[in-house]
Amino acid sequence: MHMQVWSNGRFCNLIHRVQCKEANKRFSIATFMLAPRNRNVEAPEELVNHDHPRLYRPFIYEDYRKLRFTNKMYIGEVLELLRLSLS
């Protein structure tokens, strides 16, 4: 989620669905653990311009997390709440 906001919509998150059919080693990186807790999550100025206007309003990750879990929302639903209108 925060990668989609940080990249100004250039990268999208995949839904994580693991099906373990064989006993193999698997590696997973929990990138949400890298989100800044007390700073804004937002696209850097280098990724925002006339051709690529800012898509999401900046937010504090902890506020996003609370909004999502308090309202029992899916990631996409919360992202739509954070999307800026491009009119």
pLDDT for 32 equals: 61
Q: Which of 23, 83, 29, 25 is nearest to 53 (CA)?
A: 83
pTM of this prediction exceeds 0.75: no
Per residue in 40-52, pLDDT (tens digit) is 889 999 999 999 9
Quick check: 33 pLDDT over 70? no
Give the mean pLDDT of 23-35: 68
Q: Summarize the confidence of residues 14-38 as an average pLDDT.
A: 70
pLDDT of residue 65: 85
Rg (CA), the chain: 15
Q: Output the pLDDT for position 16.
A: 65
